[in-house]
Amino acid sequence: MMTQFRDFAVLAKSRRSVRVYEDRPISDDVLRELLETAIWSPSAHNRQPWRFAVVRDPARKELLANRMAHQLRKDLEADGVAEEMIAADTGRSTTRMISASALVVLCFTMVDMDRYPDAKRSEAERIMAMQSAAMAGQNLLLAAHAAGLGACWMCAPLFCPDVVRDTLELPLDWEPQALITLGYPAQARTRTREPLETRVVWR
């Protein structure tokens, strides 16, 4: 048992957000195994509200990246951000998405979740669905790392869910939450963490 724990601890602590990838495809079998692993995460009421859109077609990846970048540009222009900053942000995001071997858009749906007549419990139920999808996403990140792949979680779909849904022709009840880029790492990454004592209280 302790051996399993130590192996998992090494896996979890060695995971990094990887943003630069080799020009090398990921096989269908590997992608399917990653998703199969992802869906074994916990979920509220065991309703399994996660949904995944896998994007591998280069033209569709580029279209999605460009449309999301266009929305980002509009938002930043409205905020009064300098053009050089806008160009850098949109260019970085677009390159990251297009260069990835595959994109996984993580969504959730409320179709099988409980319904309540009041706003407070309805919002709580919605958050539960979000949390469920996020846990599946973390499983996917760890599975990718274990498979020798690099991955990076991007929150950008939260700022343009309609753009993502329309571009990928997703069902209306699918709510995009994150975009995970996948590929074989082209560079090593380092990472630090603040001391545990600064982030925990014991009671």
User: Is the pLDDT confidence value at 189 over 80?
Assistant: no
CA neighbor of 68 nearest in space, from 107, 94, 100: 94
| Beta-bridge partner residues of 103 | 55, 181
Tokens of 163: 């753009």
User: Is the pLDDT confidence value at 190 over 80?
Assistant: no
- Residue 126 has a pLDDT of 98
- Domains parsed from the chain with CATH numbers: 18-187 (3.40.109.10)
Three-class DSSP category at 172: coil
The mean pLDDT value of the chain amounts to: 97
Three-class DSSP category at 87: helix
- Residue 72 has a pLDDT of 97
For 127-144, the pLDDT digits (tens) are: 999 999 999 999 999 999
d(CA 133, CA 177): 8
One-letter-per-residue 3-state SS of 116-159: CCCHHHHHHHHHHHHHHHHHHHHHHHHHHHHCCCEEEEECHHHH
Which amino acid appears at position 73 of this protein? R
d(CA 140, CA 60): 22
Q: Residue 112 burial (CB < 10 Å; 0-12/13-18/19+)? A: middle
For 60-74, the pLDDT digits (tens) are: 999 999 999 999 999
For 154-179, the pLDDT digits (tens) are: 999 999 999 999 999 999 999 999 99
- For the chain, give the percent of residues with pLDDT over 70: 100
- Residue 188 has a pLDDT of 79
- Residue 46 has a pLDDT of 98
For 24-46, the pLDDT digits (tens) are: 999 999 999 999 999 999 999 99
